[in-house]
Amino acid sequence: MNKREIYYEISMALLSLFVVIMSLVDLILNLSPKERYIFNIIDNFIWIVFILDYVIRFFKSHGKIKFIFNNKIDLVCILPFNPLFKGLKMYNMGKVIRISKLTKIVKATVFLSKFKKKASAFIKTNNFNYALTITIIVVIIGSYSITFVEKMEFKDALWWSFVTATTVGYGDISPKTGLGRIIAVILTIIGISFISMLTGTIATYCLNKRKFRRSYKRIIIEDIKDKLDNFENLTNDDIKNMFDVLITLKRDNTIK
């Protein structure tokens, strides 16, 4: 796996996680029409990205049927959840709310599975999965705590906890009480630690992939050398296969 492929896998995993977070926020919070409109624009944009990704990989694959069976989660991810929901809404107004919630839960579950599929190796690097879990728990607890301490709505508290943990700190919402400021300090420390852990994990993951790729190349080249020692016993197909392998290794080596 070259650098481009590594960045691609990380990007698609983060997009999947972003969709999960958006679906949960949309499910838990009572969004205004303007907020929901913005959510739908972002959601549709990501949906188009996933469709293009699936179509490109489908046409580049050699076995089309095998590709479909091996990428079932990806296929479900590009199902038009929003248009399907709108279509159902036209026929049965009495079940709109239940269908809406069910759609969001299914969507979050599917994209969470896609995220785990894409990022399973990455999030286990440097025990990053524990850091991610702890950060999410602290942000949620911080949101609930600041709701009661500062007497603010939960969606505002969740927004404040997120921007504080990511060290963005827009300043549009700030705690007034001493306990609220203590919560802000804890979230900031956790956020800085998480970002440092994320940066280190990305670096370690890329380094490990590069080491594995070099080791894999070495094994293949040694195997070809062993075969060349018995050159007189090689068939034309054997020589062609070795040539194709060497060309592939050379091409991968030039892609940085």
**Does residue 172 have a pLDDT over 70?**
no
Same-domain pairing of 115 and 150: no
Number of domains in the chain: 2
Tell whether 184 and 104 lie within a shared domain.
no
Q: Alpha helices of 61-95 — where are they, by DSSP H?
A: 64-70, 72-77, 81-91
User: Are 170 and 61 part of one and the same domain?
Assistant: no
136 and 237 share one domain = yes
pLDDT at 60: 84
CA distance 176 to 107: 38
Instruction: Place 177 in a pLDDT band, splitting at 50, 70 and 90.
Output: confident
Residue type, 24: L
pLDDT tens for residues 179-226? 988 998 999 999 888 888 888 887 787 777 666 666 667 777 777 777
pLDDT tens track for 93-134: 444 444 455 555 566 666 666 666 666 777 777 788 888 888
- Is the dihedral angle over the CA atoms 143, 172, 149, 131 positive or is it negative? positive
- Burial zone of 30 (CB within 10 Å; 0-12 exposed, 13-18 middle, 19+ buried): exposed
Retrieve residue 113's tokens.
């599975």
Q: How far is it, in rounded angstroms, from Cα 238 to Cα 181?
A: 70
41-89 pLDDT tens trace: 887 888 888 888 889 888 888 778 888 887 777 777 777 765 555 555 4
**Same domain? 185 vs 149:** yes
Residues 67 and 133 in one domain: no
pTM above 0.75, yes or no: no
Q: Which domain holds residue 104?
A: 3-119
- Reported as half-sphere exposure (CB side, CA atoms, 13 A), residue 249 has a value of 16
Query: Which residue type occupies 153?
Result: E
Question: In what helix (H) or strand (E) does residue 141 lie, and over which residues does it extend?
Answer: helix 128-149
Which residue, 139, 104, 90, is CA-closest to 29?
Answer: 104
Q: Are residues 34 and 144 in the same domain?
A: no
Tens digits of residue pLDDT in 23-42: 777 767 677 788 778 878 88
Of the candidates 100, 111, 135, 115, the one whose C-alpha atom is nearest the C-alpha of residue 26 is 100
Burial of 169 (0-12, 13-18, 19+ CB in 10 A): middle
**Are residues 62 and 103 part of one domain?**
yes
- Are 80 and 188 part of one and the same domain? no
Q: To the nearest 10°, report the CA torsion of 109, 112, 113, 119.
A: 180
Question: Residues 165, 139: contact at Cβ < 8 Å?
Answer: yes
Do 90 and 164 lie in one domain? The reply is no
